[in-house]
Amino acid sequence: MKILKTILAAASVTIMLSACHKSELANISQPVVQVSNGITSDTLSGTVKGTMLAGKTYYFKSDITVNEGDTLSMQAGVKLIAIGDGKTYQTAPEIIMHGTFISLGTKDNPNYITVANAATLHTEASAQNYTNIFQGWWGGIVCSPGPVTASNPTPTGGDMIIKWTHLEFAGGPSGPNNDPAIYAQGDPRYIIYYGNIKKNFILEDSWVFGSKDDAIRISGGKISVMRNTFELCGQAGGEFFNMKSGTVGDIGYNMLIGAATNALKASDSGSSGVQCDVSMYNNTMVNCGFRQTKSGRGGSIDYEKGARGWVYNNLIANCRFGLRLTSDADLANITYNNQYYYGSSDKIIGQFLVADGVAKFQSADTHSTTIKDNDPKFYGYDLTKFDFVANPGPMNVSLQTADLVTIGTSNFRLQASVSPALNKGKVDLTPINAVTVTGTLGTTITPPGKDIGAYQNDGTGNQH
């Protein structure tokens, strides 16, 4: 009977996904990771595994570890609260993930991995005003294969699968227990570090906010990063999504606003033996690059040091720099077109093509030639909010206040019938679709769309 129920459930999932996502790419089969062992204590410590149960709140104030071969999962509506002040590595707890991590929030019941002073704000609509955004209250999640031991000479590590989840406020300093290949002692840690060339990193429909440095760094992995919102990450430097050697996959339909440096960066630096190969399409980037304190850095999309991939249908509005392809990128294997550039100052317009890069305007690109030309006409955001002439950068966060994750009043959809970014996208492109995990834990890839940016006029794309 149990076997029959499992077969019927799998068939039901297949039918539903086939009906609801005809325009999307979904991997359908039996899940490769099973969850079990409900966690009943509200406090996590030491070595942990099992399932955080739907609707419950859990806490951790010291490092927790998931061993090789084990799984830590979150059902829908779970809050996982880090208790720390981020002043030292001892008071900035992290999650050390040698196994598999799964967070399965839903649209109606998202999950939260955050800190105590922020958690109450998610239940008090009148108190949505974060302070000390870049404090780095906790140490983030570091996900890589476990140590080599006599009993496990070839550790394999696990997948990281995150859906409909808020990830916030990491960046506390690293300490002597951190791998020096990942962090130098004292470095701010990322919300997520993932380094496993053989496994999968899936981030879908989630919110990433308030990291001190990079929000997410991938040092190898099969990735699918779809329909997320990234906001205000990096105090004076750092990317929203930073990829190194061994990273292969797709990044599409993400809303990215207020990165310190680049929104998206691909580099083949490292020695994985697998070339960094990433498609980036239908993303919307706004106000990125203006908190980077080093000159000549920071903007929108960056391919460098042997990275390859393709770049289409991205909306880049008031970012410090446009698409940057350096001369040492794998230029023979990079294709790009159908970008949409908007600038509110002559300086921004003059840097759509980066001085130290080799990218050129392509046949289907749209770009401002005079100040505020080709306004993409968002439904609910004022692109003249900042005086980019008086404040060309670096900018502090007192000027770049939150507009989406915490306040939720802005709307970056394109105005129907009047936005010049409608029907400017290229659709005859095939995502890389590198992820191998399947079933209900697998990825749902939204393929390239006809409208520029993360929001499609037919309601598909980013759902935030």
pLDDT reading at 129 higher than 90 = no
Backbone angles phi, psi at 416, to 5 degrees: -60, 140
242 strand-pairing partners: 217, 265
Q: Which tops the pLDDT comparison, 312 or 394?
A: 312
Q: pLDDT digit string (tens) for 284-309?
A: 999 999 999 887 788 899 999 999 99
Query: Do residues 263 and 300 touch, judged by C-beta distance below 8 A?
Result: yes
Sign of CA dihedral 15, 17, 23, 27: negative
Q: Using DSSP bridges, classify how beta strands 444-445 and 25-26 pair: parallel, antiparallel or unpaired.
A: antiparallel
Rounded Cα–Cα distance for residues 191 and 171 (Å): 7
Q: What share of the chain has pLDDT > 70, as a percent?
A: 89
Give the residue ranges of DSSP H helices in 296-425.
346-350
pLDDT score at 30: 38
Residue 361 in tokens: 């305007």
| Continuous H helices in 280-434 | 346-350
Mean pLDDT, the chain, integer: 90
What type of residue is 306?
Answer: G
For residue 53, is pLDDT > 70? yes
The predicted structure's pLDDT at residue 258: 95
pLDDT at position 254: 98
- Looking at per-residue confidence, does 97 or 21 come out higher? 97
Q: Is 360 exposed, middle or buried (0-12, 13-18, 19+ CB in 10 A)?
A: exposed
- pLDDT for 408 equals 72
Query: CA-CA distances (angstroms) from residue 58 to 42, 80, 123?
Result: 5, 5, 16
| Distance separating alpha carbons of residues 12 and 20, to the nearest angstrom | 12
CB contact at 8 A, 256 and 264? yes
The Cβ of residue 246 has, within 10 Å, a number of other Cβ atoms equal to 23
Average pLDDT over residues 332-357: 96
* DSSP codes joined into one string, 238-301: --SEEE-TTEEEEEES-EEEEESS-SEEEE--S--SS--EEEEES-EEES-SSS--STT---SE
Give the single-character DSSP code of 190.
P
Residue 2: pLDDT band (50, 70, 90) is very low
Residue with structure tokens 């799964």?
102
Burial readout 138-152 (b: 16 or more C-beta within 10 A, e: otherwise): bbbbbbbbbeeeeee
Asked if 44 and 22 count as a contact pair (C-beta separation under 8 A), the reply is: no
Q: What is the DSSP letter of 170?
A: B
Q: What's the pLDDT at 361?
A: 98
pLDDT exceeding 90 applies to what percent of the chain? 77
Instruction: Look at residue 378 and tell me whether its pLDDT is greater than 60.
Output: yes
* Cα dihedral 52, 231, 178, 278 sign: positive
Q: Is the pLDDT of residue 353 over 90?
A: yes
Q: Compare 33 and 243 and report the one with higher pLDDT.
A: 243
pLDDT tens, residue by residue, 174-215: 999 999 999 999 999 999 999 999 999 999 999 999 999 999
Name the residue with tokens 């929030």.
105
Quote the pLDDT of residue 391: 84
Q: What is the pLDDT of residues 386-443, one digit of tens each?
A: 888 888 888 888 888 888 887 678 999 999 999 999 999 999 999 999 999 999 899 9
Letter string b/e over residues 10-43, b meaning 16 or more CB atoms within 10 A of that residue's CB: beebeeebeeeeeeebbbbeebebebeeebeeee
Q: What are the C-alpha distances in Å from 278 to residues 323, 340, 349, 427? A: 14, 20, 26, 17
Q: Is the pLDDT at 121 greater than 60, yes or no?
A: no
Contact 305, 336 (CB under 8 A): no
- Residues 310 and 337: their CA atoms lie apart, in Å, by 9
pTM of the predicted structure, to 2 decimals: 0.91
Q: How many CB atoms lie within 10 A of CB 399?
A: 15
pLDDT-derived band at 48 (thresholds 50, 70, 90) equals: very high
- Residue 393's pLDDT is 83
- pLDDT for 34 equals 52
pLDDT higher at 353 or 31: 353
Q: Is the pLDDT of residue 165 over 90?
A: yes
* Residue 151: predicted pLDDT: 86
Q: What pLDDT does 285 receive? A: 98
Nearest Cα neighbor of 457 from 287, 296, 282, 224 is 282
Closest by Cα among 213, 216, 412, 393 to 289:
393
* Cα gap 280→265, rounded to integer Å: 10
